[in-house]
Structure 1
Amino acid sequence: MSASGNGLRVAIRDDAPTPVYEQIRSQIEAAIRGGALEDGDKLPSVRQLAGDLRIAPGTVAKAYGELAEQGLIDTGLGRTARVRKVAALPEPLLDAARTFAGEARRLGVGFDEAVSALRARW
């Protein structure tokens, strides 16, 4: 399932071991840090994104809550979620991340395992 708009594209893999809220959170974080979403950009409402992805609104709310805790978005009761200004990642780092992610997928390594491998080398 996927949803897109405002420079944001979210795709959910039902067969992934990663929880759906984490898939949403990580994709939005990547869009923010990668520059696809910029300071002040509006995110879809919780209900809209949940409807587009055909998932429970609480799942999207949990992802948005974690993004707010990270300081990546501003949310509030009855307010539209908006991206907060963050420094974009350097292009060479983004290139390395794309290469790493592609290689992990090619090898059939899941997201959590790939992150664990990265942490182990850090």
Structure 2
Amino acid sequence: MLITIDPAAPMPLADQVSASVRAALARGDIKPGDRLPAARELASALGINLHTVLRGYRQLSDEGLVSLRRGRGAVVSEAASQHAALVDLARDFVAAARRLGATSDEIVDTVRVTLDRA
């Protein structure tokens, strides 16, 4: 799996690490049970601080997407498959809304109204 960052982007590097993993989940590039790269190796490959990678991994752990275990590293959790299913549903919804001519604002407003009524 390829985790990428853009040092020039305004988003903090740790957030970029976690976002890159989330994107890989959404694309289906990784699945439950897969191990993420070791934090030390990833930090070295990306040219960033080890603690930055660990912060990104901690964000994913807090979201329930990965399990962090000393000595085992970061492993994609079973909850990640539910996240991937949610992303698929969201993609289908957005595609259908676009076919109907909805703007991004209309799509977001529709989701908000639906959430408020749920």
* TM-score past 0.5 threshold: yes
| Residue range with higher mean Cα deviation, 10-19 or 46-55 | 10-19
Alignment partner of 2:88 out of 70, 87, 90 = 90
Note the 1:1-122 alignment, pairs <5 A.
Answer: 8-85=1-78, 86-87=81-82, 88=84, 89-90=87-88, 93=91, 121=109, 122=112
- Count of residues paired in the alignment: 96
Report the AA paired with residue 55 of structure 1: I
**Displacement after TM superposition at 1:40 (Å):** 0.4
Q: Deviations over 1:13-35 (max 9, x none)?
A: 11110000001101101211331
Q: What secondary structure does 2:52 align onto?
A: helix
Greater C-alpha Rg? 2
Whole-angstrom distance in 1 between the partners of 2:8 and 2:51 = 20
**Displacement after TM superposition at 1:91 (Å):** 7.0
CA contact (8 A) 1:73 1:82 kept: yes
Report the AA paired with residue 13 of structure 1: D
Report the AA paired with residue 46 of structure 1: A
TM-score, normalization by structure 1? 0.67
Q: Which runs of 5+ in 1 are unaligned?
A: 1-7, 98-116
Q: What secondary structure does 2:15 align onto?
A: helix
**Displacement after TM superposition at 1:92 (Å):** 6.9
Q: Which runs of 5+ in 2 are unaligned?
A: 96-104, 113-118
Please tell me the root mean square deviation across aligned C-alpha atoms, in Å. Answer: 2.7
Identity of aligned residues (%): 31
TM-score, normalization by structure 2? 0.69
Report the AA paired with residue 9 of structure 1: L
CA contact (8 A) 1:68 1:75 kept: yes
Q: Deviations over 1:67-106 (max 9, x none)?
A: 0010000111222211112222327707x59xxxxxxxxx
